[in-house]
Amino acid sequence: MKLELERAKVKNIVWGETTALLPDGTLRICKEDLLEAAADRVCFKSIGAELARPGESVRICPVKDVIEPRCKTEGQGQVFPGMLSGVETVGSGKTFVLSGAAVVTCGRIVGFQEGIIDMQGTGADYTPFSKTMNAVLVIEPNDGIEPHEYEKACRMAGLRAAYFIASSVWKAGASVSETEVYELPSFTESAKSFPDLPKVVYIYMLQTQGLLHDTYVYGVDAKKMLPTFIHPNETMDGAVISGNCVSACDKNSTYIHLNNPVIKSLYEHHGKDLNFVGVIITNENVTLADKQRSSSYTAKLAAMLGADGAVVSEEGFGNPDADLILNCRKLEKCGIKTTLITDEYAGRDGASQSLADASPLADAVVTAGNANMIVRLPKQDRLIGFDDYIDVLSGGFDGSLHEDGSIEVELQAITGATCELGFGKLGGRTW
């Protein structure tokens, strides 16, 4: 597969009569058309839209998902397969991307594990989405709608809005500022071209711990699937979609799945110091039998690929820590060296055990930070959404929302703060 991401850089965002990208990088959106594209007359009592720019005194809460506007312009299928389009395999051809823009879905709380985005101040330092030009959908559900139906309706509204913006801009004749090309040769060609490089596979763990803890692959709830091998390019066209209400700090929003930095890094190293052989997606289960089945199947697939090493990323914490360690142990026992990417819940003082499970074979672990760390977020001048849930968000507590409008919470409550794919502020490099 060969995929070309044609990126147009967004430097500002405004409302206007039509949707287009102006020559100066301003994304102009027709608000009425956006709301029409996102509307759900069965599930939504109301839907509104607001804009949030980096550096503005704005708080968005509670955040459900973040999606980057994309559309395919050439090749098989369309973005978000199985959700907005058919289930043809994606990951080849050309895809148009509005870099620096995002659609954020926000509305009445479904599960307590939803989050906050501050566009300035301390909170902005911890979320990657304080740096994007955000079109925020503010959704009120109809009375009596079940939480999982409401979550689904919000998810679909965000995807429709993101596709509408990208496709409208493309049709309006947007110019492309940068093209990224992603292509992997066949296993046979790679073996011939890089016979001395270690073969590395990426084990991509997806949150699947029950209702409202969902991730979708080609429209299928990943709880229902066995681990499977996919081409890394498929993720860039939206084959993997977030549908969960888990702790905001380490929830992989759809935007992050589209821009997975582990995949990008492995591509950058391919043919230089490693042979990137592809991606195995696996689920995070709640029963021991399911954990054993998926971890054994994952190790088997990696061994069949002839992998020498594996990068394993987690989503979430606690229960999924067992899946992470089972994957590590079984891969290592197959002779496949592992590097794990996780975050920590080490207590507010950082002195507690970081993970719920451990193994001496887990001897190469990368941390995205301690989600229990307390931060104070200053008052923002404008609120998009609702702040009456702050005290009950995961990471919040009784009294988190102060009378002056400031908030005291754990990092858990900030969207993307300790992303276990490394899509955040902090990072490490080897020099």
- Is residue 104 within a helix (H) or strand (E), and if so which, with residue range? strand 101-107
Q: How far apart are CA 233 and CA 258, in angstroms?
A: 9
Q: Where are the alpha helices (DSSP H) in 210-363?
A: 232-236, 254-258, 261-269, 288-304, 319-333
SS3 label, residue 187: helix
Q: Is 245 a catalytic residue?
A: yes
Amino acid at 291: K
Sheet of 26-29, strand order? 12-15, 26-29, 20-21
The token duo for 350 is 């950082």
SS3 label, residue 291: helix
- The DSSP bridge pattern shows strands 12-15 and 26-29 to be parallel
Q: Residue 94 class from Cβ within 10 Å (0-12 exposed, 13-18 middle, 19+ buried)?
A: middle
155: alpha, beta or left, given left = phi > 0 and alpha = psi -120 to 50?
Answer: alpha
324 to each of 212, 236, 256, 328, 428, how far by Cα in Å?
21, 24, 20, 6, 21
Helix, strand and coil percent figures for the chain, each rounded to 5: 25, 35, 40
Contact, 264 vs 96, CB < 8 A? no
- The DSSP bridge pattern shows strands 58-67 and 101-107 to be antiparallel
- Is residue 70 within a helix (H) or strand (E), and if so which, with residue range? strand 70-74
Active-site residue, selected from the candidate residues 30, 71, 154, 245: 245
The token duo for 38 is 């996102």
Task: Cite the beta strand spans of 119-177 per DSSP E.
Answer: 133-141
Q: Residue 118 class from Cβ within 10 Å (0-12 exposed, 13-18 middle, 19+ buried)?
A: buried
- Residues with a catalytic annotation lie at 245
